[in-house]
Every structure is written in C-alpha cells, then in structure tokens.
Structure 1
Amino acid sequence: MWHSPPVRQAADQPSRRAFFGATAAVAAAGLTAGCGPEIAPTTIAPVPPTGRFQAGIVAPQEAQTNVLVVVADLEDGVAIGSLLAELGKAVQALTAGTDARLLGFPSGDLTVTIGIGPRLVRMVDPALPGAVDLPEFAHEQIPPQARGGDLLMQICANDVMIPPIAAAALLDHTSNRLRERWRQSGHRGSTIPVDQGRTAPRNLFGFTDGIVGPHTTAQQQQNLWLPGPSPVADGTIAVIRRMNLDLPRFAALPIPVQEEIFGRRRETGEPLSGGTIATDPNLNAKTPDGRYRIPADAHIRRAHPTTAGVNLMLRRSYSVNDPAPGLLFISFQNDIQTFTKTLTHMTNGDALLSFTTTTATAPFLILPGFDDTRPLGSTLFHT
C-alpha cells in the first residue's frame, strides 16, 4: 500500500515513533494472523547476507513465504555511500540476530536485498545499467507517489512477523535520511512441485506463477547477473510492480476459458500443448482442426521469451490483499529491455492483462554483493 511521505518533526523523535509504532502494529497483527503455518525457529536455516551476490534473489533457492518491499527517496544532501555502507552493516546484524530491534524474534531465514533507483545510478554514470526509468504502459493507474523511487529494500522471511520488524529497524537506522514513498507486503500461496526440488506458487487466479526462468547457474550467468562494467558487475536489474486483479470477473469464466487465457491447466500447471508443468510450452502445437493448442492471446505465449525476442527473467510473484486483491510482481534480469519488451509484447495482445491494473511500479539496480572488506555500494559510491 502506498503512503504519503511522513511529516518530519524536530530532533530524533520521528524515527523512534515510527519504529515503535511499526512494531506495535506488528504485535497487534500477530494477535490476528494465526492462519499461516507455524515454523519452529530451529528448523529455519539462516541465509548468509554477504558474498558475490546479494541474498534474496537466488538464495535461498526456494523463495520465502513472505515479502515486504519498501521504496524510499533520499533526503537532500545525504551521503549515499555512507548510507549504503551502514545499511549493509545493519543487514548483517539483523540477519545474524544480534540487532536488539528484532525485539527477541529469531531472524531465521531473513534476507534483505538493497537496490538503488535510476536517479542515483545516473549520478554515477548515465550509461550504467539501471539508469533508465520505466516508460508508462497500458493498464496502469499509478499515482505519482507510487512510481519510481531512490532506494529499494526487499525483505523476505518465512516468519510473517520478521519483514515489518526488520523494515522498522532499517528505517530507524537511517533516521531522517530516507523518506518512504510506498510499501507492499505479499505472500506466496500454496505451491506446486516443478522439478529438481523447485516449486512454484499459485496466484489469486488459481494458476501457477514463475515456472519459466533462469534456474540453472549457467542460465543465471547469462540472463540474470550483470557482467559489467565493474561498478555494477554481479548486480542485477529489478522491476517491481503491484497489480490489482479483477477476481470476480475472472472467476465467473468457465475453467476451460480461464485455462485458455493463461495457456496452462489450472490444476496441474502443465501447458495446453501437453507435457508436465516443467515442460517448455510448444507454441507451434495445433489441434486436428488447425487451431493453436495455446491460443494466440494466451499469457504464456505473449510473455514467452521466444515470442517477445528477449532473454529469460527470474520472476517472483506474491499475492496481496491490501489495498485490494492482487499481485506483487518482482522480476530480475540483466537487461531492462528483457522486461520492457516483454510487457510491450503482452500489451499488444495478452488476454490476461484485461483482468489486471498496475497501481505501483519502479525499477532498481540491485547492488553487487558485499562483505566486511567491501561495503554495500562501495563499487559505485565513496563512503
């Protein structure tokens, strides 16, 4: 849900109020959020926050159940390099469970992924990947406050309590240097096994999301991670989009019509061209009477990389219920045109888009990985 920027007040009281207000809201939510499965803290493996790549993209392999994205702007005069380095240290403390602002909760498999928006990238070099804003597309109703932003914090965990607590801690840590634009929480629904220990979640339409993508190391090297130039090498480009879904109108359709819109079987996730859920769709397959088994306007045809003429993107989809039933879509790719060309191709004939309205969007350069000797953001900014 997007929010207007908070009104700043004197001294350092706002950050404390924001922090304790947020954590109080989390505690209240915990009294009513007992619908999800409980996972014992001892069963959750921690995810190292440092390394060649940032955590929260391909590590862990199976995306956590809960996500919170926070998009913010930098206040004027903020030293970007120092802020990012401090955020990196805060992420290390939070994921290690040593930050008192976790309020006694175990950090579990918490990951925090940090990205910077095009304005900040252009301050370094307008020719760098990540310097380009997204164009406007059809099926959008986006207020100015929910378009773009300077900084992304993607916070993931299997424990539903952890992302908002971690977000409050990070925003408190950046006291008066960041101004929040919008935030959105999301949850992965029930999943379907795909292959090699990989699963994919169902969306609110009842269909499976995120099946096609760069899932092997070789595919990720080719399609996901930036090869250079050196300041951005081992980063990636993220696109965040929140969409409202017209559930009543879609649910009123017969199941075969729903399946033709997606191009997959609703129950199994297998493409209409046959095979299993892991089978690449055969876009040339036809029925005996000459019709395409996957219709010309089916989502998996219009979004498929071969028909859009692009590389693979790694997609993470989460269901949202506030402010309306919908989808939080996050894609990672090493070329922004992988996303823009795909969406343009979808806009020109994807039957699914008539059931969606995008209400927030932003692109970000996900920074390269960091460690104790290489602070977060140090390849781009001086501390």
Structure 2
Amino acid sequence: MGQLSRRRLLYGAAALGLLGACGSPGRQPGVVTPPQLHADISVWDATAPPSAQVSSSVTVTWGHGISGLPEFPGDAVRPQELGGKLFLQICGDDADAVSDAASRLRPDGQLRWREQGFCNSDRTNGLGFKDGIVVPKTAQEFEQEVWLPDGSTIAVVRRIKLDFAGFKALSVADQERVFGRRKHDAVPLSGGDEVDLSAKTPDGEYVIPADAHVRRAHPLLAGAGLMLRRSYNFADGLLFISYQRELKTFVNTMYRMVDGDALLRYATTTASAAFRVPPLD
C-alpha cells in the first residue's frame, strides 16, 4: 500500500490537511490540533495501529507504550489498567463520526480499557473549573517543549476518578483555594493573566495557598518543562492527556503534586500509561 493511501485510510483527508498546519508533514494530528468536542480514548495490547476508512472530520492519534512512568502515591490502578502497548485517541466534533471511527479502527489485540470523553461548552472540567496550568503557547514553546526533532512526542494518559460530591460540598471560596483560580473566569487568585506565585496579602500570606493546584503543578516549582494538556471529561471524572518532549516533565510535576496538592484529595487515578507518538512514515 502506498504511503499516501495508507495515511488516508488511517486518518482521513481532513486530518492530512491539519498536518501541514502543524508545521511539519510528519507530525501526527490530534496533538496541537484545537481540542474537539468528543473523544474515544483506548489502550490496547497490540503492536500496530489499525487501518480503516474513517470520516474526514475526525483526527486519529496513536502511540507505542514506553516504560518509565511510575505508580505514584494515591494511585489506585489495577494491573490490567497500568501501561499498555498501543494508545488510540479518536477525536471529533461529531459524536457519531467519532463512534463510527472507533468501531472501524480496532487494533489486532486485546483491549485494556476504553472511555468516551467530551468537552463542556465552557471548557470546564467536572468540578466546574477550567484547566489553566501554564502551557506552551508560542510556536517556539511548542518546538522546545512538545515536539522532538524527529516529529515525535511523548503522551501521558491517565484516567482520574473525581469526588464530585466531596468537592462540591466545599464553599466556592474553598474550591477556589484548592485550584488557586477563580471559578467563574479562571483568573489566578493573584490576578492578571499569568499565575504570580510571589503575590502576598497585606498580612504577608501568599495569595495562592501553598497547597493550591496551580502552585504545586507550576513548572517553576516542579522543576519541569511545559506540558500540553489535552484532557477530556468522562462520566466519573477526567481523562488526563498530556503531550511533552520528555516523560520527566510529567513525572517531576506529579511528584511535586503528590507532596501536597489539595486537588488530589478529590482525585484518584485508576488507569495510567505513557506512549511515544511517532511521526508518520
């Protein structure tokens, strides 16, 4: 099968067009592609990505499993849902097109786990907050923090069960202290567009609490690079997906979080894996 025809079978013509917009014809879609409304996320014990004709409205991203992602304190991951050989991310704005593509793109191997994800219209998670940790924004930051020279990237995929009832029992003010952001507009408690970790009250207290999520996960304090977060909600919580140049970007951030992030009182990871997302042939 020719190179172009195989790409069309796997990704669809529109997804091919997105590759050029990403700056390199070898990079997979679904990484820097603007988040779409629906997603089918699955992890398999399979060695090769599937091929099938799918709608041109969906983007398909896949990766091969890699080692090096530890189990973290507080994780509750069963052996079946730890690691995996193949990651498959199918995204689109049409739920039926995503479902159809998922039914056609079935790898030759055993399914470990699968979830259907979605984005709220206001881009909030199930706790009512927008995901607002520092992320790459400029073309230079994407080149330095997300992509490797060969056009590959590293994906971390974690299914997180959220304690909706416990979190929503808090006052809005306490919820905002957990995140370090205002709930209605996602502005940092320090004010302004960017998180100011040094901001203090007249009494000398940090405006953003020591255990706030935006402080514990901030790259400056975690000693890590930037990660591109492309997460989706699902019925029980959050399908966390991040893309980064190095796995240690996520690992260092997570170790900083388990050392005192208030948000982890309401979040339990139940599936976890890391993958290398290779460039297209």
| Pairwise same-fold verdict (TM > 0.5) | yes
C-alpha separation between the residues in 2 aligned to 1:148 and 1:210? 27
Question: Does 2:214 align with 1:240?
Answer: no
Question: Does 2:62 align with 1:151?
Answer: no
C-alpha separation between the residues in 1 aligned to 2:169 and 2:206? 24
Question: Does 2:113 align with 1:182?
Answer: yes
Question: Does 2:37 align with 1:65?
Answer: yes
Contact 2:132 2:186 in 1 (8 A): no
Question: Does 2:193 align with 1:282?
Answer: no
CA 1:145–1:138: 2 relative to 1, 3 Å = same
- The amino acid of 2:258's aligned partner reads T
- The amino acid of 2:176's aligned partner reads E
Structure 2 match to 1:102: none
Q: After the TM superposition, which residues 89-104 of structure 1 pair with which residues of structure 2 at under 5 Å, given as runs?
A: 90=52, 93-94=53-54
Sequence identity (%)? 46
TM-superposed deviation, 1:165: 1.6
C-alpha separation between the residues in 1 aligned to 2:268 and 2:218? 21
TM-superposed deviation, 1:111: 0.4
Structure 1 match to 2:231: 317
C-alpha separation between the residues in 1 aligned to 2:125 and 2:38? 14
Selected match of 1:213 from 135, 141, 144: 135
- The amino acid of 1:63's aligned partner reads P
TM-superposed deviation, 1:139: 1.9
Contact 1:210 1:317 in 2 (8 A): no
- The amino acid of 2:118's aligned partner reads H
- The amino acid of 2:71's aligned partner reads E
Q: Work out which of the two has the higher radius of gyration on C-alpha atoms and give 1 or 2.
A: 1
Structure 2 match to 1:273: 190
**SS at 1:190 equivalent:** coil
- The amino acid of 2:136's aligned partner reads P
C-alpha separation between the residues in 2 aligned to 1:183 and 1:139? 22
TM-superposed deviation, 1:208: 0.5
Under a length normalisation based on structure 2, what TM-score does the superposition of the two structures give?
0.89
Structure 1 match to 2:176: 259
C-alpha separation between the residues in 2 aligned to 1:217 and 1:210? 19
- The amino acid of 1:291's aligned partner reads E
Structure 1 match to 2:222: 308
Structure 2 match to 1:365: 276
TM-superposed deviation, 1:299: 0.1
Structure 2 match to 1:164: 99
Question: Does 2:29 align with 1:55?
Answer: yes
TM-superposed deviation, 1:234: 0.8
C-alpha separation between the residues in 2 aligned to 1:162 and 1:358? 29
Under a length normalisation based on structure 1, what TM-score does the superposition of the two structures give?
0.66
C-alpha separation between the residues in 1 aligned to 2:26 and 2:44? 25
C-alpha separation between the residues in 2 aligned to 1:169 and 1:182? 17
Aligned residues, how many? Answer: 263
TM-superposed deviation, 1:46: 3.2
CA RMSD of aligned residues (A): 1.6
Q: List alignment gaps of at least 5 residues for structure 1.
A: 1-44, 75-79, 95-106, 119-131, 192-200, 228-232, 375-383
**SS at 1:167 equivalent:** helix
Structure 2 match to 1:330: 241
- The amino acid of 1:308's aligned partner reads A
- The amino acid of 2:129's aligned partner reads F
**SS at 1:307 equivalent:** helix
Q: After the TM superposition, which residues 330-349 of structure 1 pair with which residues of structure 2 at under 5 Å, given as runs?
A: 330-349=241-260
TM-superposed deviation, 1:188: 0.8
Q: After the TM superposition, which residues 97-112 of structure 1 pair with which residues of structure 2 at under 5 Å, given as runs?
A: 107-112=55-60
TM-superposed deviation, 1:142: 1.0
Deviations 1:275-309 (A, max 9, x none): 1xxx1100000000011000000000000000101
TM-superposed deviation, 1:357: 0.8
C-alpha separation between the residues in 1 aligned to 2:26 and 2:165? 45
